[in-house]
Structure 1
Amino acid sequence: MKNIHILDTKVLSDNWYTLKKVSFEMTGTDGAKSILEREAYDRGNGATILLYNKDNQTVVLTRQFRLPTFINGNDTGYLIESCAGLLDQDNPEDCIRRETEEETGFRIEQVEKVFEAYMSPGSVTELLYFFVAAYSNDMKLHDGGGLEEENEDIEVLELPLEKALEMMKSGEIRDGKTIMLLQYAQLKGLML
């Protein structure tokens, strides 16, 4: 294990989330010490979920605009994703229940945590908690779409799992968390 000592932290931006420049000393495996600087974007931790229906062999996903993808060449900027949100002050389970209802319109009670992962550890501090949950039509309270006060404009998609897997292969689905959950559903046989 490398010894890390933080030497200095400067806040570069505290607008949407917090971007920090961190200077630190690191002792390598050979015992040599190096002083390095890195930037880290702190947006808090989050949770994501794949809703699945065994009877209908379907999953619920969302589509919404993501500026960074647009800047990086995604022609429309819209991504198909699993429902997700930041924890804020909630624990991961309460967060994902809240986000599921806000974004998809489904009220779910039983969620299963399947794993957690850092999605972009070279620059973003976020730890993402991954969940799956069964859903049925009687759990639908409203159309979903997100919160107006958060300027969310989310389209809810109910797709056959097989179609979602094909969309992943064709590049129509390119969101990392969604790909991980779809592969989890396939590997674990959630629809069996």
Structure 2
Amino acid sequence: MKNSIVDVRIVVDGWMKVFLADVKSATGQLFTRHIEHHGDAVAVLPYDDERRVALVISQFRTPVEHVSPGADNIIEPIAGVNDDGDAEACARREAMEEAGVRLGTLEKVANCWSMLAVSTERLVLYLAPYRAADRVASGGGLAHENEDIDVNEMSLATLADHVRTASTVDMKLLALVQALQIRRPDLFTPKPA
């Protein structure tokens, strides 16, 4: 016998939902766990292998400010909630909204649980090659969502150094930069003359 959910009740119903689940252990003990649900998500790291740069964003994050007042905005990959169930379409839409970049090929890295102890969110991670000509808009996010996103084109060497040395780093960015380093180590060495 293994643990099983006996009952689930909703305690918050808004942009996200929070449930309380009563769980029965294999030994018959009852206990309660929280479940947070806001849907699945995607994250994408566009990179230009000719210029050896990547597009990253930063924006004010209320939870970060709450626990680290005055902290700088953390560098992140482009990301968003996958409302319609099509992860690739969501990645392309978010890339245009947040960074003004049109993406073609998407290289799937992983489909992973972001915080499996508390959240139902599954996160699909992508790498995406792009060229300077694919930057067709300014990005910055959607005004009605108050995103106010800063878009930065950062050298891959600087980005890898940031991931390696920063005291705090976004988990999605860490995974995507490391995946790119594994798949394309040539992009992180000096460019041949």
Normalization by structure 1: what TM-score?
A: 0.91
Distance 1:138 1:52 in 2: 13
**Amino acid paired to 1:161:** L
Of residues 52, 56, 59, the one that matches 1:57 is 52
Aligned-residue offset at 1:72? 1.5
Distance 2:81 2:72 in 1: 20
- Overall identity of the aligned pairs, in %: 28
Q: Secondary structure at the match of 2:74?
A: strand
Deviation at 1:160, TM superposition (A): 0.5
- 1:92-121 CA-partner distances (Å, limit 9, x unpaired): 011101001100100112111111111111
Distance 2:115 2:25 in 1: 21
Cα-Cα RMSD = 1.6
> Are 1:58 and 1:160, in contact at CA under 8 Å, matched by a contact in 2?
yes
Distance 1:69 1:185, change over 3 A: same
| CA deviation string 1:55-111 (max 9, x = no partner) | 111111000111111112152362210000011014101110100110010011211
Q: Which amino acid aligns with 1:184?
A: A
Aligned to 1:10: 9
Query: Aligned AA for 2:163?
Result: M
AA aligned opposite 1:24: V
> CA distance change for structure 1 residues 74 and 133 in 2, over 3 Å: closer, same or farther?
farther
Q: Which deviations, in whole Å up to 9, do the C-alpha atoms of 1:5-55 show, x marking residues without a partner?
A: 32221211112210111102132xxxx232221001101000001111111
1:190 & 1:108 partners in 2: Cα distance? 22
Cα distance, 1:88–1:78 mapped onto 2, change above 3 Å: same
Q: Distance in 2 between matches of 1:173 and 1:52?
A: 22
In the alignment, structure 1 residue 132 sits paired with structure 2 residue 130:
no
Partner Cα separation in structure 2 for residue 166 and residue 182 of structure 1: 10
After TM superposition, the structure 1 = structure 2 runs for residues 2-41 of structure 1, keeping only pairs within 5 Å, are: 3-27=2-26, 32-41=27-36
User: Of 99, 115, 127, which residue of structure 2 is paired with 1:120?
Assistant: 115
4+ residue stretches of structure 1 with deviation over 4 A? none
Say which structure is richer in strand.
1
Q: Shift in Å at residue 172 of structure 1?
A: 6.3
- Find the aligned partners of 1:191 and 1:100 in 2 and give their Cα distance: 25
Matched position secondary structure for 2:25: strand
Deviates more, 1:165-174 or 1:151-160: 165-174
Aligned to 1:176: 171
Aligned counterparts, 1:137-176, within 5 A: 137-171=132-166, 174-176=169-171
Residue equivalent to 1:71: 66
Amino acid at match of 2:31: L
- State the shift of 1:3 in Å: 2.9
Gaps of 5+ in 1: none
Unpaired stretches in structure 2, ≥5 consecutive residues: 188-193
**Other structure's SS at 1:81 match:** coil
Letter of the structure 2 residue corresponding to residue 14 of structure 1: D
Aligned with 2:94: secondary structure? helix
1:102-156 per-position Cα deviation (integer Å, ceiling 9, x unaligned): 0010011211111111111111110000101101111111110011111111000
CA 1:20–1:77: 2 relative to 1, 3 Å: farther
Count matched residues: 187
Quick one: distance in 2 between partners of 1:161 and 1:74?
A: 29
In 2, distance between residues paired with 1:172 and 1:16? 30
